[in-house]
Amino acid sequence: MALGERDGYEEQGHEGYEEDGYEEDGYEKDGYEKDGAYEGQAGAGDGGVEPEEVSADGGEGSQGPGGPQGPRGPEGPGGSDQGNGEEPGKPPRIPPPRSSVEDTGRPLPEPAAAPAPTPTPLVLEHRVLKSLLGAWALAACSAEETAAVEEHLGDCGSCADEALRLRGAVGLLHPPESLDLDPTLRTRVLEGCLDRRPPRIPVPEWAAPYDAETARLDALLQDIGGAEWHAPVRLRWFDGATPVSRRTTVAGVIAHLLSVDGLVALALGLDDPLGPTGPASEDPTPEGRTEAYWRGSHFPPTRSVRGPWREQSHNLVRTVSFAGGGSGRLTVPYGGFELPLRDSMLDRAFECWVHAGDIADAVDYPYEPPAPRHLHRMIDLAARMLPGSLAARRRAGLSTAPTRHLVAAGAPGRSLRLEIEGSGGGDWLIPLDSPGTAGSADREVAHVALDGVEFCRLAAGHVSPEEAAAGQDGDREAISEVLFAAASLSRM
């Protein structure tokens, strides 16, 4: 929260994300003009600095004006000046600037603040001396200027007052605390609120993973610096036969998420982030839309893509909330295939997590898997899509095991037991012969056991079917087919 904290939204000028702080022409009116409010305050103690204020957190210790007072010490600079106010009319005695000895480990600049003897005293006009007070309080002016200011403070009550006040303010500067908000706090806070006052318009359960994952990614983006937005990221997926990849940047990944989330936005009647007449209409697949977005922007994507992405994700959650739980049956076309909205929102949550992981790797941040119940829903979606993926591979001639067992639709068919371990896991029976058949424990021919996160890495195309760490038992051909089908769920 303190000085130096990066404000991720600063650069983009997106109206919804502007800080409500002082604006350039706003604070001028508050009387802080360069020669404004403090000009006329000649009388010491006239609405200005009260000594107790300055020494409130100082006081004890640090009596020596020349003592090495680091800016972070518990004693605020200026702590030695208690009692000056007892001599109204006389300018308070000001301690010299803090020593430049610092515990930051940073290289120190030239010792500007060192009390070097100044053979030729600098003569400066009052206006200049006054303008130096801030730099002086921060020990950020030359030795000659420091001496000139301190000489002046002995004669000028109003400057002395201000100097004391500014020196006190320096003690309030804190190094930014590295307070990464615990990502699980959001869920706990929101649930606590909703328990106390049930919402009239809830977020549908199937949209909760998307809400949580987009918030997590946004928190990561808030923490990364400007240069890191251009860190290289390799998007990886599995095209059915081999792993493929596409090189982009952190900002490019967010542009990708924005473009593909836009499919859901379109299905809900919201604006297309690619624009109403974008080239995307030619190729409405996730990959086609992403390439179109990357091509369409004049410059490579920058951090400015964060605002539109976040606004759209907020809008999606808000819109499906108003549409209600029943809207989950609406259809979202992906160009080539489609998903019901409730699954599409899960799919987008999954993609958001996967790509957040890509970004976190690229900028060397830790990133945890989703909450177990959200992870469970994502795994469940992948498990439900496996029979379709098996069939698509057979149709495309990618399968090495053509169907040998014709089974009537709805009847129990040969099945593989997919056992997902870890939190969020469970057991799924995958029908092997046709999406139309039902999984059957009696006709189980193989058993595969995977860790939940490993399974998701497989389904995201981040680990190849051959390399996935899977415990296997039974029909080896069936197992191989299912692992390849899982990897084939991935796409750009």
Partner 1 sequence: MAKKDAPPRWDRRMQQRLARGEAAALGELYDRFASLVHGLAHRVLGDERAADGITREVFAHIWENADAYDPKQGPMRSWVATLTHRLAVQRLRATETAALARGGHGTTEELERKVRSASVAARADYIVTSMPAPLRAALELAYFQRRDYRQAAADLGVTEDEARRRLRLGLQLLSTAHDAGPAGAPPEYGGAR
Binding positions for partner 1, 235-264, rule CB under 8 A: none
Looking up tokens 């990364």 gives: 224
Helix axes 341-362, 452-459, angle to 10 degrees: 100
Nearer residue to partner 1 within complex by CB, 190 or 401? 190
Q: Does the protein bind partner 1 through residue 199 (CB under 8 A)? A: yes
- Residues contacting residue 253 through CB under 8 Å, at least 6 positions apart: 233, 235, 355, 358, 359
Q: Does the protein bind partner 1 through residue 15 (CB under 8 A)? A: yes
The binder of partner 1 chosen from 42, 114, 116, 181 (CB under 8 A): 181
Nearer residue to partner 1 within complex by CB, 130 or 417? 130
Q: Does the protein bind partner 1 through residue 230 (CB under 8 A)? A: no
Q: Rounded CA gap, 376 and 209, in Å?
A: 10
Binding positions for partner 1, 91-110, rule CB under 8 A: 100, 102, 104, 106, 108-110
Q: Output the smallest distance, CB 135 to partner 1, in A.
A: 4
Nearer residue to partner 1 within complex by CB, 56 or 244? 56
291-307: b (≥16 Cβ within 10 Å) or e: bbbbeeeeeebbbbbbb
DSSP E strands in 273-408: the ranges are 331-333, 338-340
Nearer residue to partner 1 within complex by CB, 236 or 348? 348
Q: Does the protein bind partner 1 through residue 137 (CB under 8 A)? A: yes
Q: Does the protein bind partner 1 through residue 170 (CB under 8 A)? A: yes
**Other CB atoms within 10 Å distance of the CB of residue 344:** 26
Q: Output the smallest distance, CB 376 to partner 1, in A.
A: 21
Burial (CB count <10 Å: 0-12, 13-18, 19+), residue 172: exposed
Nearer residue to partner 1 within complex by CB, 168 or 301? 168
Q: Does the protein bind partner 1 through residue 182 (CB under 8 A)? A: yes
Distances (CA, A) of 382 to 66, 249, 297, 456: 68, 27, 33, 8
Binding positions for partner 1, 140-159, rule CB under 8 A: 140-142
The binder of partner 1 chosen from 84, 159, 165, 386 (CB under 8 A): 165
> 3: helix, coil or strand?
coil
Q: Output the smallest distance, CB 123 to partner 1, in A.
A: 18
Q: Which of 295, 257, 258 is nearest to 278 (CA)?
A: 295
Q: Rounded CA gap, 483 and 467, in Å?
A: 10
Q: Which of 275, 229, 311, 159 is nearest to 8 (CA)?
A: 229
Burial (CB count <10 Å: 0-12, 13-18, 19+), residue 379: buried
Binding positions for partner 1, 274-313, rule CB under 8 A: 310
Q: Does the protein bind partner 1 through residue 317 (CB under 8 A)? A: yes
Q: Does the protein bind partner 1 through residue 138 (CB under 8 A)? A: yes
Read off the tokens for 166: 């500014």
Q: Does the protein bind partner 1 through residue 336 (CB under 8 A)? A: no
The binder of partner 1 chosen from 99, 222, 464, 472 (CB under 8 A): 222
Kindly indicate which of the ranges 6-14, 364-372, 390-398, 454-462 contains the residues binding partner 1, using the contact rule CB under 8 A: 6-14
Q: Does the protein bind partner 1 through residue 3 (CB under 8 A)? A: yes
Q: Output the smallest distance, CB 230 to partner 1, in A.
A: 21
The binder of partner 1 chosen from 94, 160, 215, 345 (CB under 8 A): 215
The binder of partner 1 chosen from 119, 197, 364, 397 (CB under 8 A): 197
Q: Rounded CA gap, 421 and 151, in Å?
A: 74
Looking up tokens 């936005």 gives: 265
Q: Does the protein bind partner 1 through residue 194 (CB under 8 A)? A: yes
